[in-house]
Amino acid sequence: MTLRVVWDRMNAEVPNGTNSDGQAVFKNVLLRRGDEIPAEVTDFSRSLYLSIGAAKDDGLATSIVQQASAQENTPAPSPALTPEQPPNPSAPAGGIVVEEGETSPDVTTLPARPENTANKDVWEDYAVSLGFKRTEAESLTKPNLIKAADAKRAELEKAQA
């Protein structure tokens, strides 16, 4: 995944060998808006930059969701209901059963999208309201969850059209 800096300026820590005790040593690199985040930056730092909005995927690489699905060997989020697929008639009013005690709204009612800065718990609830299983939503990192939820919402909006 190729990340680009969104902020005007930011520092990134890049590994720079080890010290005499065998501990990793990092050097700070100044990055400006539009710069590519170096591949040497740790996955944790890359995830952090995404979650705080300091960087974004420039779209040239495979999406985070597809990478996460491939790494975890789990299927991507299930497709939205189409008009040819009516909701489960035994489901409670207002949605279909996703997991015991959880429901998903009808495809005609989409919940408001949370801000990117909202807590991961808010994003998990939002994803469940779009039809994700709670365990699936909880297993994704926040950036992956946002991408997956946005993709799911686009599918639902397309199914409504």
3-state secondary structure 77-141: CCCCCCCCCCCCCCCCCCEEEEECCEEEECCCCCCCCCCCCCCHHHHHHHHHHCCCCHHHHHHCC
What is the C-alpha to C-alpha distance for residues 160 and 92, in angstroms, rounded to an integer? 21
49 and 91 in one domain?
Answer: no
Q: Inform me whether the pLDDT recorded for 158 exceeds 90.
A: no
- Looking at residue 61, its pLDDT comes to 39
Q: Among the three residues 61, 84, 108, which one is the final residue of a domain in this structure?
A: 61
Same domain, 103 and 148: yes
Domain extent for 53: 3-61
66 in a structural domain = no
List, in order, residues 6 or more apart from 22 with CB less than 8 Å away. Answer: none
Q: Assess whether 78 and 127 both reside in one domain.
A: yes
- Length of the chain counted residue by residue: 161
- Asked if 76 and 126 sit in the same domain, the reply is yes
Q: What is the pLDDT of residues 9-65, one digit of tens each?
A: 888 888 888 888 888 888 888 899 888 888 888 888 888 888 888 888 876 434 444
Do both 78 and 44 map to the same domain?
Answer: no
Same-domain status, 147 and 83: yes
Examine the domain organization and report whether 57 and 75 are in the same domain: no
Q: Are 77 and 89 in contact (CB under 8 A)?
A: no
Q: Minimal CA–CA distance to 161: which of 153, 132, 93?
A: 153
pLDDT tens digits, one per residue of 61-77: 344 445 544 555 555 55
Q: What is the mean pLDDT of residues 113-118?
A: 90
